[in-house]
Amino acid sequence: MNEHVEGSVSFEVSDFVATVTLNRPTKLNAMTPMMAAQVVEYMKRCNEDDAIRAVVLTGAGPKSFCAGSDIGTLDDYTTPWNFRNRPDYCDAVRGLLKPSIAAINGYAFGGGLETSLSCDIRIASANAQFAAPEIKLGWIGGGGMAAFLANSIGASNAALMLMTGDPIDAERALQWGLISEVVESAEQVLPRAQDVARTIAQRAPIAAETAKSNLHAAFNMPLENAIQYERDLQTICFATDDAREGRAAFKEKRQPVFSRK
Residue 98: left if φ>0, alpha if ψ -120 to 50, beta else—which one? beta
Provide the 8-state DSSP code for 7: T
Spatial CA neighbour of 16 closest among 36, 43, 46, 41: 46
Q: Give dist(CA 124, CA 186) in Å, integer.
A: 8
Active-site residue list: 114, 134
Provide the 8-state DSSP code for 156: H
Q: Give dist(CA 29, CA 187) in Å, integer.
A: 16
Spatial CA neighbour of 244 closest among 214, 211, 212, 206: 206
